A = this chain, B = another copy of it.
């Protein structure tokens, strides 16, 4: 039974140097429009649900292009308002092997989304029309105005009985000096409101400032996550452990804590084509599992396979259908499909 899900978040323009050139070597860029909200709304559309984005775009050719692109990704735009002047954007130079990829941001504080005035979004209309809403820690890092929209929307959805989903997604560069201190109370507010949260042991230690005597990653997880689940009454806590190999391969294992029990996915190892947005694919997979009442084991493995596929697809936004993910869960590397 397909659900209706909204994601609240900024639309970013991604400007990527083709191939492996640097900005100072090339003269061409490929562009697309993405963002955590975009990725989640699109991924859930491809899994059969109706995905809305709640956001604000400038009323100019860049905003038009972003809107066309969201439509192309299968996202419903009824809750997108137009106004403001700018679109956040970032430049991506692909790394190769030992040379890491580089991201250079424009000033997103001035974007239409981050300057949306009070009353921009019709909270009642949105909250009454959806089954769940997704928020992201990146948005939380922006400014008071955006945080107010975020919290108001979370409260409205909660009141209407909708599910509130929060991906911690702490980005140190966005919070600046003393970032964890600034972030903690805001994260706590969001956790109070959330039903499903994406977070791992490191988030708990750094963002919430909790301590553990455990040394190993896995032991820290077992120690800390149940505390958080209990303290904030969170139904599902999920996340991944990633290991980066030197030869362009990553390993990924998903986990999920529900009703006090941890479930782990198989540990997947795979070649990486485009790493950005893979975390959103994982989150979308968990959400899909929960919205579809899958067993936890099916849910984490579905989410991990969705994340794997997102690493093999160009662009930030996952492109796999539910069927593609099922196929990837059960198959090994195969020959051409013809």
Residues of chain A having any CB pair with chain B under 8 Å: 15, 19-32, 60-62, 64-65, 67-69, 71-74, 85-86, 89-91, 93, 95-107, 110, 171, 173, 242, 244-249, 269-273, 275-276, 308-309, 311-315, 319, 328, 331-338
Contact = CB atoms under 8 A, between A and B. Distances in A.
Contact of A20 (B64, B67, B273): B273
A328 B68 CA distance: 23
B29 A100 contact: no
A229 B60 CA distance: 41
Given A27-B30, A74-B71, A244-B335, A20 B101 contact: no
Contact of A312 (B61, B95, B338): B95
A101 B335 CA distance: 8
Contacts of A98: 270-271, 308-309, 312, 328, 331, 333
Contacts of A95: 312, 336
30 contacts: A15-B29, A20-B273, A23-B62, A24-B64, A24-B68, A24-B319, A27-B31, A28-B29, A28-B30, A28-B31, A62-B91, A68-B73, A71-B72, A96-B271, A96-B312, A96-B313, A98-B270, A98-B271, A98-B312, A99-B313, A100-B333, A100-B334, A100-B337, A101-B337, A102-B337, A103-B338, A106-B106, A171-B338, A244-B332, A246-B333
B62 A104 contact: yes
Contacts of A23: 61-62, 64-65
Please state the number of chain copies in the assembly: 6
A315 B74 CA distance: 22
Residue from A20, A99, A248 with most neighbouring chain B CB atoms (10 Å): A99
A67 B269 CA distance: 33
B335 A61 contact: no
A105 B62 CA distance: 10
Contacts of A62: 23, 91, 104
Residue from A21, A62, A68 with most neighbouring chain B CB atoms (10 Å): A68
Given A29-B31, A98-B328, A244-B334, 5 more contacts: A22-B64, A68-B72, A98-B331, A106-B106, A171-B338
A103 to B, nearest CB: 4
Contacts of A74: 68, 71
B72 A273 contact: no
Contacts of A19: 314
Contacts of A68: 24, 72-74
A107 B104 contact: no
A327 to B, nearest CB: 9
A242 B336 CA distance: 13
A187 B151 CA distance: 48
